[in-house]
Amino acid sequence: MRCVEMKVDEKVAPSEPREALPFLENREKCKNPSEKISKEEDDETACGFWLFKGPFMQRFATEKMYVILYGIAGCVMTMTFAYFNGTITTLEKRYKIPTKISGIISVGNDISTMLTAALLGYYAGNGHRPRWMGIGLLTIVAFCLLTSSLHFIYGAGEDALKLTREYGQVNETLARQERDQKLCQTKAAGCIQEEIGQWVPQVFLFMAQLISGVGQALFYTLGIAYMDDNGTKSKTPAMLSLSTFLRMLGPAIGYSLAALCLRLYIEPSLEPLIGREDPRWMGAWWLGWIVLAAMTLVSAIFLFMFPRELPSSRRRRLQAGQAEGNQEVNLKERSFGDMMQTVRKLTKNKVYVYNTMASIMYFFGYMAYWIFTPKYIETQYRQSAAMATMATGTVALGFSAAGVLISGYVISKYRPSARAMASWNAIVDFVTVAGILCYVAIGCESSDRLNSLTTLSAENSCSASCHCDYVHYAPVCSPENITYISACHAGCSERSKDELGRTIFTGCKCMGSSSLESGTESQFAVDGTCPVDCFNQFLVFLGVMCFLKLVGASSKSTNLLIALRCIPQEDKTFALGLGSMVASLLGFIPSPIFFGWLIDNYCLVWGKTCSNKGNCWLYDTESLRYALNLTAASFIFVGGFLNIAVWHHAKDLKIFDEVEHVEKEVEMDKLDVKSRENK
């Protein structure tokens, strides 16, 4: 007999089958077989590519290094999606996009994920998976560059430029005309012409999202399967928790980056005349995309360097007597018919089906908060876009990361059963429903009253004679603390500056009792919305949200472990891809569109142009709070009962191996080698 030093492409003589050559049977005839295998590493286990390879690189081909780099790459990827969510309200203002359309744009990546996840998981899953993941990250780079290029193509926009000091200096006549249009007009003004190709930015953003979905499918479907296949089952919970923890830092950093960029004006070289709390403020949304593109490119290069199979996994497989030749045969047998047969087999797996459907219901309900939480905070609690983004990203998602770490520690230490994990998933769903019902009660009465009064001011019959149909949203505040959509809607005819530099509108005939002819000169309004203090309610909302993030994140690892263990190893990559496709089709795609439509239904003041109604400036906050939260809670509530069905069918499912004999043999081998060396 000889020591096992075979390569993947080495041919085995018929008289000497691979089953007769396990490493453990030849241990006595090799002084140090583990070292010999490591010296004879072939291209399949070699770390690096092109010029970036060699013995120095090989030391990084370990499970721990992969988990860390995979987690960091996932962190960068989630940063891009969080950054998009954090800047979505600014994009709506800049390109006059209704929330319903922005919801459709945001699901572009889920549409391409749905179309490609299963196929890529089935075919690319048997290729060089780290290289495919690197290619996926390159599509994210393209997504970042395409999105940011909109600013360089269209610029900051006329609406934003009109609110800068430089615009008034360079275009004094146009600036005066713009200011006069805000006042009460004696005759109807013409409609505001749309910017040429206004629909093009929307299509551009959607296509960029489509491209990113391919990278997302490659990264998650192949990355998790590669991690599970190249590690031991006892270490999988810890590896999943660590990589998920690193990935959870991505949204926090992405939202923080968005908050930082939104603090700058959309054209940083110009001086704005309004503050960040003004609803007309537009931040430098495009700046962060350039940073994210560079970070994603570096992550892609590092992932490219990992081998097709980690050396430690190769040694364990050879020691277990697994035949490599069988894998080569399986590669040739891949076909569409075989894939459909695998689909039929998975549909009969009740644990897999119920677990997938429970995840879909949770995602459908909670997707509204992942995408629209900054918008929700802005409208409900009157916080700036930067504050809403910072709270959503830095504070709340920090609790999500803590939840992932705590759950990973508990699972690794106590090794709960599949039923225990499924029951915890159900508990998390019902606790989440209770927390969302608390959102309904956490309203701001001042904000609700302000919006209703603003709507009444818009419907004032007095302002009809001022011809305000096409006046831009430019709120003013009356002494009675009533906000008017513009000075025109308040019936104001004159403008001046006070000693504090504030713009004061006078002669406002449509304010309260001033609609009478007498005394109109004493009626005035101050530029900007009336002050509203909702900060205490915002803090309560933030506290409940952080608790839900902590509890919800604790079920990520348990849900994924059930999904990994309820399917055979040969179907793992495809099953993850198929689950991702179904989740996109039934959850990730329809949810943002549905909730975007729901939010638009409660709009009170639309921006109006010649051909459409543009973006929404003001919402019925009280009705929106009830409708959004109760609808989301209903879907998650159904998901809780589906997790109970998972609990019922998971009684025979094993999450951990009772005895990992291969690892024990390796340890025994190392002890024998050390004892011989000592002798």
pLDDT of residue 486: 82
DSSP-derived secondary structure for 570-595: GGHHHHHHHHHHHHIIIIITHHHHHH
Angstrom CA distances, 575 to 22, 417, 589, 620, stand at 30, 22, 20, 43
Region 468-494: what's the mean pLDDT? Answer: 81
* Residues 527/503, Cβ–Cβ less than 8 Å: yes
Residue 158, helix vs strand vs coil: helix
Rounded CA separation 556/403 (Å): 9
Q: How many CB atoms lie within 10 A of CB 607?
A: 19
Instruction: Specify the CATH number for 63-178+199-444+534-649; select among 3.40.50.10860, 3.40.630.10, 1.20.1250.20, 3.30.70.870.
Output: 1.20.1250.20
Residue with tokens 């047998």: 333
What is the identity of the amino acid at 232?
T
Selected residue with higher pLDDT from 179 and 628: 628
CA distance 242 to 408: 8
pLDDT band at 420 (very low <50, low <70, confident <90, very high): very high
**Dist CA 647 CA 423 (whole Å):** 6
Q: Which two three-digit tokens encode residue 659?
A: 């005895």
What number is the average pLDDT over the span 218-229? 82
Banded model confidence at residue 559, pLDDT cuts 50, 70, 90: confident
Statement: residue 256 has pLDDT above 90: no
State yes or no: pLDDT of 657 exceeds 80: no
Rounded-to-integer distance, Cα 21 and Cα 318, Å:
9
pLDDT of residue 577: 80
Least confident of 77-86, 510-519, 589-598: 510-519
Q: Is the pTM for the entire model greater than 0.75?
A: no
Per DSSP bridges, beta strands 476-477 and 483-484 are antiparallel
pLDDT at position 178, please? 57
Could you tell me the residue ranges of all domains in the chain? 63-178+199-444+534-649, 446-527
Angle, helix 397-414 to helix 535-553, in steps of 10 degrees: 30
Q: Please answer whether residues 98 and 616 qualify as being in contact, where contact means their C-beta atoms are separated by less than 8 angstroms.
A: yes
Give me the residues paired with residue 52 across strands: 49
The CA distance from 6 to 37, in Å, is: 9
Cα torsion at 224, 229, 231, 233 (round to 10°)?
A: 90
Q: How far apart are CA 170 and CA 156, in angstroms?
A: 16
Beta strands 476-477 and 524-527, pairing class = antiparallel
Helices of type H across 230-323 = 236-263, 287-304, 311-319
pLDDT band at 568 (very low <50, low <70, confident <90, very high): confident
State the pLDDT at residue 11: 38
If we measure between CA atoms, which residue out of 372, 423, 440 comes closest to residue 559?
Answer: 423
